[in-house]
């Protein structure tokens, strides 16, 4: 490809040298990368303190079933696998190379990977543009560009794609789910991953952008839009390189699934910090916000909402309307849910008189047969069952919020049953429940009932669900 | 006391009968109740499923060192303690009776407790006003009033006062701390307790108000204002019975320590739910909010903030000014902290040039020596130490926010050391840190450095700290 790959260095708005984005990363190439059947790990190490050990260990521990080739210049064996001393030694073509060697060796690794017709490189190694080595990065990107290798990173925390059991990152997380997280911030990505594991909702993918010199938000949005395992895309970015392209791809993705966006740098001070961090041009936050509203991107206010919104959108369909029925054992929590609902224009209607009558004749006298439906502090899972069997018949509710206050054993079993009785979405809250809460919350999530730690978080998440397009 | 105790039933705004509040509960009586040396447990049971078992077990398990008299009409032994068949049998006066018998037996228990000169009764039993039995409640309150017995409840979840190792409630929680929680909602109280235990910050007290027919928010505010163990009062109420009295006592308390208020029922729907729940007259929320601002009550927006604000106010003094220096290994988290700070009018100034120069010459080149001070993703506890030793010399910061993104081992040890070098308050965030985060977060809290799960929560808590009076 003579003539291509020239002029790989451009200048950003501050005059810093940055590599040009390679142009030819297609959905097909990314598909080969995430579904790689042959992976080389360049920089594999037998020293447990090294990243080259941890990442290889996680690829193995994640249950990856393709071929793994550890590369270590000294040969030998790492974690029971024989090493090649270089990629050249690998006896076949590879789909993906995970790169953990010092920056100066990366161009050589890339050249060898190109020889083996690698489709992608996850470059975990740092030491490029982020410390001023823009030319080294440009050299790497030129090799990638010339050889159609999709680069994730460099200076990134790797990728985890659970449909392929491919955990080329750290820590080891294997819980499968429907959320694809694209994270500019390794820490925010890690937090999303950890919370999803604790919650037992898992994820389809975690991708760290790092310097995003090759694959960026546009290519990943485009890929995950068509990824069957992914039902919601959680996108953490600090800036958008090509606004027109971003809008075009985001619009296409939004036709297929919801996209939640966390974009720090809303304020002047935040934007200044973002400029220092990733050299992102934050642009006008008001314009970005207007674009989100216009095309239907669901913007998260902070990290908590980023997780909560992605969680609910990955588990539930959009309710048919905005009428919420609250069922609770904790009066105070029910009131807080009603307050938050009213803040968000979510309506609270009382069930029809016949439903109220049936509730009254089947529940103890201290219960309040209304909306919130208050089952009071001594409610058991059995009382929830009795009450829910009746109240789900209300035609004045489009969605149900069931709040378990205090340790209510058997909550998940009851809710799994109730879920079979209605097609309307159900959301739960569990708080003040000690060890039983810790046990029941993941069980509820696993049953497809997103469960939150406070009523406010649950209702705000419902607000996000109501902004879903389809 | 002939003539007293008459007319114990009044009507509320809806015409429901309610008992009149007894008038004579003083700080001294409450002091005798919380510091009780002799406790009778009326309704003690050897059946582990019964509340009368759980509560007795928790009083014993909490390490209470006073005398415990379990009362069970069948006598025998419960949890190794011999039972009296009635309070009459107790060979001495008692300070406190914890009541767990069915409602209809409570008047007799109260009469017997009066004979033993009890100072207080924690009535956990339900079955009173909340189910329409206002007259039975009035009978109980008349006995209490005639005999100067301070009633907590009825229909409440009990009390936990850690300075006296007295856990007359459930679950068993023994971690001592500086936060006194007064909770209208048993669930919200339980959640506050559980979070404080996980965080290792503990509490001085948890008190459930229940029907608050005797002791209410006014008496408890007054008591905890003078309680040496309590540095912050967390008050969850749905309504205030006597607004003038409340303001008077709150003002007195606020001269001594901060008070955080969670009052659900902000909105029309929320207020309607509150009226059903505790028959509280929510009143105009705007007026309540204005009163809070006027006298300096710190209002929490939701349960999360209720906890976070109480946590920070129980651990830190008010900073001398509003200038925040952010130190982070996670660029994205630093930007979110800066955004939240700007939202709240908390200022972000760069350190003076000589501090920046010193940072630059002591840190790797990829670090951003500014505010946020970004130590980047490969930062270790050692790098934090190096950076913090320098940046705490900045005269352009009144308070420090240290964000640990990813698993950074030794974070708490470093911070304990740094804390010895400055008198300015330090707040931490730990996220994306997996098992190390779970280990280090409580250690940081125990070192007096409040540590939060997201930058947004930490900075909002700082906003509450800046509203402290003293």
pLDDT tens-digit readout, A310-350: 999 999 999 999 999 999 999 999 999 999 999 999 999 99
Burial A120-159 (b: 16+ CB within 10 A, else e): bbbbbbbbbbbbebbebbbbbbbbbbbbbbbbbbbbbbbb
pLDDT band at B299, cuts 50/70/90? very high
- Look at residue B282 and tell me whether its pLDDT is greater than 70: no
Q: pLDDT for B379-392, tens place per residue?
A: 999 999 999 999 99
Whether residue B432 and residue A278 make contact (CB cut-off 8 A), yes or no, is no
DSSP class of residue A316 equals -
Q: For domain A6-313, is the CATH number 3.40.50.261?
A: yes
- Look at residue B197 and tell me whether its pLDDT is greater than 80: yes
- A129-133, A189-193, B212-216: least confidently modelled range: A129-133
Query: Residue A339 is encoded by which pair of tokens?
Result: 């307050």
Q: pLDDT for B341-361, tens place per residue?
A: 999 999 999 999 999 999 999
- Measured between alpha carbons, how far is B162 from B142 in angstroms, rounded to an integer? 30
Q: Which helix (H) or strand (E) holds B228?
A: none
DSSP assignment of A132-154 equals T-HHHHHHHHHHHHHTTPEEE-S
Whether residue B405 and residue A365 make contact (CB cut-off 8 A), yes or no, is no
Walk across the sheet containing B324-328 and list its strands.
Answer: B373-374, B324-328, B399-405, B426-431, B451-452
Torsion sign (Cα): A44, A129, A185, B358: positive
Q: Maximum Cα–Cα distance for chain B, whole Å?
A: 84
**A110: alpha, beta or left, given left = phi > 0 and alpha = psi -120 to 50?**
alpha
Find which of B332, B396, B461 to mutate to test the A interface (most A CBs within 10 Å of its CB).
B332
A 10 A CB-CB count for A394 gives 22
Residue in B closest to A276 by C-alpha: B368
Residue A339: its chain B contacts at CB < 8 A?
264-267, 269-270
Residues A51, A124 contacting (CB under 8 angstroms): yes
Whether residue A269 and residue B348 make contact (CB cut-off 8 A), yes or no, is yes
End-to-end CA distance of chain A: 44
Residue A432: its chain B contacts at CB < 8 A?
186-191, 194
Residue in B closest to A330 by C-alpha: B187
Find which of A174, A273, A428 to mutate to test the B interface (most B CBs within 10 Å of its CB).
A273
Tell me which residue of B113, B54, B117 sits closest to B84, measured CA to CA.
Answer: B113
Residues B94, B87 contacting (CB under 8 angstroms): yes
| Average confidence (pLDDT) over B300-310 | 98
pLDDT band at B25, cuts 50/70/90? confident
Query: Residue B50 is encoded by which pair of tokens?
Result: 């019964």
Residue in B closest to A339 by C-alpha: B270
- Look at residue B4 and tell me whether its pLDDT is greater than 50: no
Ranges of each domain in chain A:
6-313, 316-466
- Measured between alpha carbons, how far is B298 from B261 in angstroms, rounded to an integer? 6
Whether residue A432 and residue B270 make contact (CB cut-off 8 A), yes or no, is no
pLDDT value at residue B406: 86
- Measured between alpha carbons, how far is B92 from B83 in angstroms, rounded to an integer? 14
- A45-49, A263-267, A280-284, B184-188: least confidently modelled range: A280-284
DSSP assignment of A408-424 equals -TTHHHHHHHHHTT-SS
Query: Residue A427 is encoded by which pair of tokens?
Result: 């959301």
pLDDT value at residue A144: 96
| Average confidence (pLDDT) over A233-259 | 94
In this predicted model, which residue has the larger pLDDT, A29 or B19? A29
| Average confidence (pLDDT) over A188-215 | 96
Burial A403-414 (b: 16+ CB within 10 A, else e): bbbbbbeebbeb
Instruction: Please list the alpha-helical segments (H only) found in B279-422.
Output: 285-295, 303-315, 331-343, 353-362, 381-391, 411-419
CATH class for the region spanning A316-466: alpha beta
CA A226 and chain centroid, separation: 16
Whether residue B405 and residue A432 make contact (CB cut-off 8 A), yes or no, is no
Adjacent-strand bridge partners of A63? none
Phi, then psi, of B204 in degrees rounded to 5: -85, -35
pLDDT value at residue A4: 39
Adjacent-strand bridge partners of A429? A403, A452
| Average confidence (pLDDT) over A24-30 | 85
pLDDT value at residue A460: 98
Find which of B124, B125, B133, B187 to mutate to test the A interface (most A CBs within 10 Å of its CB).
B187
Whether residue B368 and residue A277 make contact (CB cut-off 8 A), yes or no, is yes
pLDDT value at residue A6: 42
**Which of helix, strand or coil describes residue B449?**
coil
Q: pLDDT for A358-398, tens place per residue?
A: 999 999 988 999 999 999 988 999 999 999 999 999 999 99
pLDDT value at residue B13: 45
Residues 6+ apart with CB under 8 A from A438: none
Residue A363: its chain B contacts at CB < 8 A?
none
A 10 A CB-CB count for B327 gives 26
- Measured between alpha carbons, how far is A377 from A81 in angstroms, rounded to an integer? 57
Whether residue B273 and residue A340 make contact (CB cut-off 8 A), yes or no, is no
pLDDT value at residue B17: 55
- Measured between alpha carbons, how far is B337 from B400 in angstroms, rounded to an integer? 12
pLDDT value at residue B110: 98
Is it true that B6-313 and B316-466 share their CATH fold? yes
| Average confidence (pLDDT) over A284-295 | 90
Query: Residue A340 is encoded by which pair of tokens?
Result: 């938050």
For Cα atoms B267, B272, B274, give the angle at the middle one, nearest 5 degrees.
Answer: 90
pLDDT value at residue B359: 98
Residues 6+ apart with CB under 8 A from A155: A123, A124, A125, A126, A127, A128, A129, A130, A210, A211
Whether residue A190 and residue B267 make contact (CB cut-off 8 A), yes or no, is no
Whether residue A455 and residue B274 make contact (CB cut-off 8 A), yes or no, is no
Q: What is the mean pLDDT of chain B?
A: 93
ipTM associated with this complex: 0.92
pLDDT value at residue B195: 98
pLDDT value at residue A236: 98
Residue in B closest to A348 by C-alpha: B269
pLDDT band at B284, cuts 50/70/90? confident
Residues 6+ apart with CB under 8 A from A162: A174, A175, A176, A177, A202, A203, A204, A205, A229
Peptide bond connecting A44 to the previous residue in cis, omega within 30 degrees of 0? no
pLDDT band at B279, cuts 50/70/90? low
Query: Residue B452 is encoded by which pair of tokens?
Result: 């939060």
- Look at residue A220 and tell me whether its pLDDT is greater than 80: yes
Kindly report the nearest CA distance between residue B13 and chain A, in angstroms. 18
Residue A125: its chain B contacts at CB < 8 A?
none
pLDDT value at residue B26: 83
Q: pLDDT for B71-97, tens place per residue?
A: 999 999 999 999 999 999 999 999 999
Residues A162, A32 contacting (CB under 8 angstroms): no
Do β-strands B176-183 and B203-208 pair in parallel, antiparallel, or remain unpaired? parallel
Kindly report the nearest CA distance between residue A63 and chain B, in angstroms. 20
Residue in A closest to B51 by C-alpha: A378
Phi, then psi, of B137 in degrees rounded to 5: -65, -40
Tell me which residue of A349, A347, A342, A384 sits closest to A367, measured CA to CA.
Answer: A384
How far, in Å, are A167, B15, B134, B216, B238 from residue B22 at the CA level? Answer: 65, 20, 15, 10, 20
Number of cross-chain residue pairs from A and B with Cβ atoms under 8 Å apart: 224
Adjacent-strand bridge partners of A256? none
Residues 6+ apart with CB under 8 A from A114: A143, A146, A147, A149
Cα-atom radius of gyration of chain B, to the nearest Å? 25
Q: What is the mean pLDDT of chain A?
A: 93
pLDDT value at residue A278: 66
Kindly report the nearest CA distance between residue B333 and chain A, in angstroms. 7
Whether residue A186 and residue B377 make contact (CB cut-off 8 A), yes or no, is yes
DSSP class of residue A49 equals T
| Of B185, B269, B370, Cβ closest to residue A331 | B185
In this predicted model, which residue has the larger pLDDT, A416 or B269? A416
Burial B155-185 (b: 16+ CB within 10 A, else e): bbbbbbbbebbbbbbbbbbebebbbbbbbbb
Tell me which residue of B293, B317, B301 sits closest to B178, measured CA to CA.
Answer: B317
pLDDT value at residue B22: 47
CA A57 and chain centroid, separation: 23
- Measured between alpha carbons, how far is B365 from B373 in angstroms, rounded to an integer? 13
Residue B131: its chain A contacts at CB < 8 A?
364-366
| Average confidence (pLDDT) over A207-214 | 94
How far, in Å, are A67, A425, A448 from residue A316 at the CA level? Answer: 36, 6, 7
């Amino acid at each position: 490809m003579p003539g291509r790959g020239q002029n790989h260095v451009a200048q950003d708005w501050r005059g810093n040298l940055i590599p040009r984005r390679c142009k030819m990363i297609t959905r097909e190439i990314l598909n080969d990368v995430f579904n790689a059947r042959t992976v080389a790990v360049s920089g594999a190490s037998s020293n447990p303190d090294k990243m080259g050990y941890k990442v290889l260990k996680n690829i193995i521990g994640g249950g990856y079933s393709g071929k793994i080739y550890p590369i270590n210049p000294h040969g030998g064996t790492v974690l029971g696998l024989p090493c090649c001393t270089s990629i050249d030694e690998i006896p076949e073509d590879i789909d993906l190379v995970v790169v953990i060697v010092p920056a100066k060796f990366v161009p050589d690794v890339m050249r060898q990977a190109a020889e083996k017709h690698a489709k992608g490189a996850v470059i975990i190694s740092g030491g490029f543009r982020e410390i001023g080595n823009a030319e080294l990065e440009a050299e790497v990107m030129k090799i990638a560009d010339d050889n159609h290798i999709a680069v994730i990173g460099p200076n990134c925390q790797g990728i985890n794609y659970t449909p392929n059991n491919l955990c080329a990152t750290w820590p080891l997380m294997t819980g499968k789910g429907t959320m694809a997280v694209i994270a500019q911030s390794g820490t925010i990505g890690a937090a999303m991953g950890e919370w999803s594991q604790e919650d037992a909702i898992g994820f389809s993918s975690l991708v760290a952008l790092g310097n995003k010199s090759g694959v960026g938000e546009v290519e990943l949005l485009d890929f995950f839009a068509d990824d069957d395992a992914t039902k919601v895309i959680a996108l953490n970015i600090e800036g958008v390189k090509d606004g027109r392209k971003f809008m075009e791809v985001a619009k296409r993705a939004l036709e297929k699934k919801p996209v939640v966006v966390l974009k720090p740098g809303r304020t002047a001070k935040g934007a200044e910090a973002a400029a220092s961090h990733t050299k992102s041009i934050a642009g006008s936050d008001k314009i970005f916000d207007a674009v989100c509203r216009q095309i239907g991107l669901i913007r998260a206010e902070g990290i908590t909402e980023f997780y909560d919104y992605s969680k609910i959108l990955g588990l539930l369909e959009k309710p048919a309307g905005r009428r919420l029925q609250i069922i609770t054992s904790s009066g105070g929590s029910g009131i807080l849910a009603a307050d938050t609902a009213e803040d968000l224009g979510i309506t609270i209607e009382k069930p029809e008189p016949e439903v109220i009558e049936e509730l009254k004749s089947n529940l103890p006298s201290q219960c309040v047969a209304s909306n919130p439906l208050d089952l009071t502090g001594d409610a058991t899972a059995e009382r929830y069952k009795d009450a829910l069997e009746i109240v789900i018949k209300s035609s004045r509710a489009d969605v149900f919020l069931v709040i378990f206050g205090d340790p209510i054993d058997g909550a998940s079993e009851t809710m799994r049953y109730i879920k079979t009785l209605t097609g309307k979405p159900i959301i739960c809250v569990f708080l003040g429940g000690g060890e039983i809460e810790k046990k029941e919350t993941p069980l509820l999530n696993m049953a497809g009932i997103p469960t939150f730690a406070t009523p406010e978080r649950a209702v705000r998440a419902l607000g996000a669900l109501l902004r879903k397009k389809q």
